[in-house]
Amino acid sequence: MKVKISRRATFNAAHRLHNKNWSEEKNKLFFGKCNNPHYHGHNYTLIVSVLGDINEDSGYVIDISYLKKIIEDKIIDYLDHKNLNLEIVEFQELNPTLENIIKVIYDKLKKELSNEFTLSIILYETENNFAEINETV
């Protein structure tokens, strides 16, 4: 039987949605207020879930303190109170959309987990707007 274990975390970050290959006018039309040249910010909520078998010895799927540590070390410390466009290497070329932010988070966390686990992530940018990556989809 597989069990899913989840951990929630929050971080704050600023960004500007902008395609360098488009004109300023096209960027303003397409991204609207999210293209503000002075940036804008969000209070993100991250939910990281790990699906796996219960270990017979420990009774755990994963040590939740380890999951907490990798989320804090690899994601929160990296993104919290940062300007994504200016301070995060992945977004020097990549537009920091919700979809691209969750992909960067996924790639960082996947490297820290054993292949025995299935990783899924939900990232809320606002109360109503969120993205999800699920390996099983």
Catalytic residue among 24, 81, 132, 135: 81
Which segments within 54-127 are labelled E, that is strand? 82-83, 118-124
Active site residue 18: no
Active site residue 99: no
Catalytic residue among 15, 18, 42, 125: 125
Beta strands 40-53 and 118-124: pairing type?
antiparallel
Catalytic residue among 34, 72, 87, 112: 34
For residue 124, the one-letter residue type is Y
How far from 14 is each of 9, 17, 82, 122, CA to CA, in Å? 17, 10, 6, 19
Q: What is the CA radius of gyration of the chain?
A: 17
* 109 Cβ neighbours under 8 A, 6+ residues apart: 48, 70, 71, 74, 75, 119, 121
Catalytic site residues? 34, 81, 125
